[in-house]
Structure 1
Amino acid sequence: VIPAIPLGAYVLLTRKGDARHRLLGKIWLALMLVTAFSAIFITSGGGYGPIHVFIPLTIFSAWRSVATARRGNIPAHKRQLVFTYVTGLVFPGLAAFLLPGRLMNVMLVG
């Protein structure tokens, strides 16, 4: 997940449509899917928590991002990728660090 954060921001903020954008976008989307699928195996106390709702959201959003681009619906593609970034990285990251009892929160604040 660590490389997906800056790479995703870079892809979202730089020039669109060229071969470099498509390559970096594919790499970023692959990182997002690896992160989502690996998160299935991360459980707290032997079960799933509310943070796991972001797994299917990320997978579905990644699929929609590709589908909208292939249809040539670039405005929808852009919206979907921003949604993927926020629901796949920003919200789960904040939840992991800010919700009491989460491992990252315990490591951060003790």
Structure 2
Amino acid sequence: MQITPVIAIHLAAALAAVALGPIALWARQGTTQRPRLHRAAGYAWVTVMVATAVSAIFITGGGGPRWGSFGLIHLFIPVTLGMLVMAFVYLARRNIVGHRKMMQRIYIGACLGAGAFTLLPGRFLGHTVWSALGLI
């Protein structure tokens, strides 16, 4: 398996999203609130999430059921982008609870859930990780 520029962009953006998400979520928790950190990390996280989703459109290959060049994991693209839009709609309507829940769900589903799928042995990242550990 070989890394392409699109996969490199996708991987870098996804790893940045996994790292930035907890910072954005943590900055508004507890008694000490950090609104400036929350906003900065949040906008950075949204930016890398959009980059991750858009770059995924151009990644093809892999096994399993296909629809043209898209596999099942590509269903995360419209779901993620739609949920990001809804999170900002909640924010515009000053529905902070809805915004918070939507952002938490995006992080869990798109970062952790989709991230778990990428660790399957037949996928690029999964193959790289498991072969580096000597498990395949």
Say whether residues 1:10 and 2:27 are aligned partners: no
What corresponds to 2:59 in structure 1? Answer: 42
Structure 2 counterpart of 1:103, from 100, 121, 124:
124
- Gapped runs of 5+ residues in structure 1? none
Structure 1 counterpart of 2:74, from 41, 48, 52:
52
Say if 1:57 and 1:87, in contact at 8 Å, map to a contact too: no
Query: 2: distance between equivalents of 1:96 and 1:7?
Result: 19
Letter in structure 2 aligned against 1:13: W
58-67 or 9-18: bigger deviation: 9-18
Q: Which has the larger radius of gyration?
A: 2
Give the TM-score of the pair, scaled to structure 2.
0.73
Query: 2: distance between equivalents of 1:86 and 1:51?
Result: 15
Letter in structure 2 aligned against 1:23: A
Calculate the aligned-residue CA RMSD, in Å.
Answer: 1.7
What corresponds to 2:96 in structure 1? Answer: 74
Query: 1: distance between equivalents of 2:126 and 2:45?
Result: 26
Pairs aligned (count): 109
**Identity of counterpart residues, as a percentage?**
34
Give the TM-score of the pair, scaled to structure 1.
0.88
Structure in which a larger fraction of residues adopt helix: 1
- Gapped runs of 5+ residues in structure 2? 1-13, 63-67, 131-135
Say if 1:68 and 1:76, in contact at 8 Å, map to a contact too: yes
Query: 2: distance between equivalents of 1:21 and 1:5?
Result: 15
Equivalent runs, 1:17-36 vs 2, <5 Å = 18-36=35-53
Say if 2:23 and 2:41, in contact at 8 Å, map to a contact too: no
